[in-house]
Amino acid sequence: MYTLLSGLWKYMFQKDEYCILILGLDNAGKTTFLEQTKTKFNRNYKGMNLSKITTTVGLNIGTIDVGSARLMFWDLGGQEELQSLWDKMLEASSLVSVAECYPQQRSFHSSLEGNTCLSVGDIKTAFSDCASKIGKRDCLVQPCSALTGQGVNDGIEWMVKCVIRNIHRPPRQKDIT
């Protein structure tokens, strides 16, 4: 009876699960972004101190519940040696590419005086040569700060809307059918 009722409960209340890849060069802020997202969207999550995040060897996975979907983030290490892992991950519904806007900055405490920040226009120019490969897929350039959390909410909400309406990449097969 318990299996019956708990199966019924899960069947009625389970959410669609989507896999999202986070890619970017080493030290771009992928793991920090993942921790920030988890802190914002999981109520009881006491995240680790963001300044203690070190380089990712392998990958990190984080899951958040947004609206009617459950997003599973795969944060792959960006170190050159680990980039051979990237093409093994072919099953994702969506891709978050994290680009560092202060390429000269190598520590979190350096001052922000110079005008070396890349703007949205610069990033779009950089991606323009792969525009043909992106094709008809939804694409958004979102300025955000993984340390303070600005811009993260808008980005995630836009992504959830796009991932749900994308019929070419359906959610992962559910446990209970």
Partner 1 sequence: MAGHFRSYVWDPILIISQIILMQCIYYSFLGIWLAVVDSLVQNSRSLDQVFSYEVLGFSTAQGRLSMMAFILNSLTCALGLWYFIRRGKQCLDFTVTIHIFHFMGCWIYNLHFPTALSWWLVNIVCIALMAVIGEYLCMRTELRAIPVNTGPKSNL
Q: Which residues bind partner 1 (CB under 8 A)?
A: 1-4, 7-8, 10-11, 173, 175-177
Q: CA-based Rg of the chain, rounded to a whole angstrom?
A: 18
Tell me how far, at minimum, the Cβ of 173 lies from partner 1, in Å: 7
Q: Annotation-wise, does 31 bind a ligand?
A: yes
Question: 10-14 long-range CB contacts below 8 Å, 24 or more apart?
Answer: 10/175, 10/176, 11/176, 11/177, 14/174, 14/175, 14/176
Q: What's the closest the beta carbon of residue 74 comes to partner 1, in angstroms?
A: 15
Nearer to partner 1, 17 or 26 (CB): 17
CB of 83 to partner 1, least distance (A): 26
Residue type, 72: M
Residue corresponding to tokens 């380089």: 55
CB nearer to partner 1: pick between 5 and 112: 5
24 in a labelled binding site: yes
For partner 1, which is the closer residue by CB, 54 or 177? 177
Of 132 and 173, nearer to partner 1 (C-beta) is: 173
- Can you tell me the distance from the alpha carbon of 65 to that of 47, in angstroms, rounded to the nearest whole number? 16
d(CA 163, CA 173): 15
Considering the complex, what minimum distance in angstroms separates the CB of residue 10 from partner 1? 7
Q: Is 29 annotated as a binding residue?
A: yes
For partner 1, which is the closer residue by CB, 4 or 112? Answer: 4
Confirm whether residue 30 is marked as ligand binding. Answer: yes
**3-class SS string, 100-113:** CCCCCCCCCCCCCC
* DSSP alpha helix (H) spans, 1-137: 2-13, 30-41, 120-127, 131-134
What is the smallest separation between the CB atom of 174 and partner 1, expressed in angstroms?
9
How far is C-alpha 70 from the geometric centre of its chain's CA atoms? Answer: 13
Provide the annotated binding site. Answer: 24-31, 56, 78
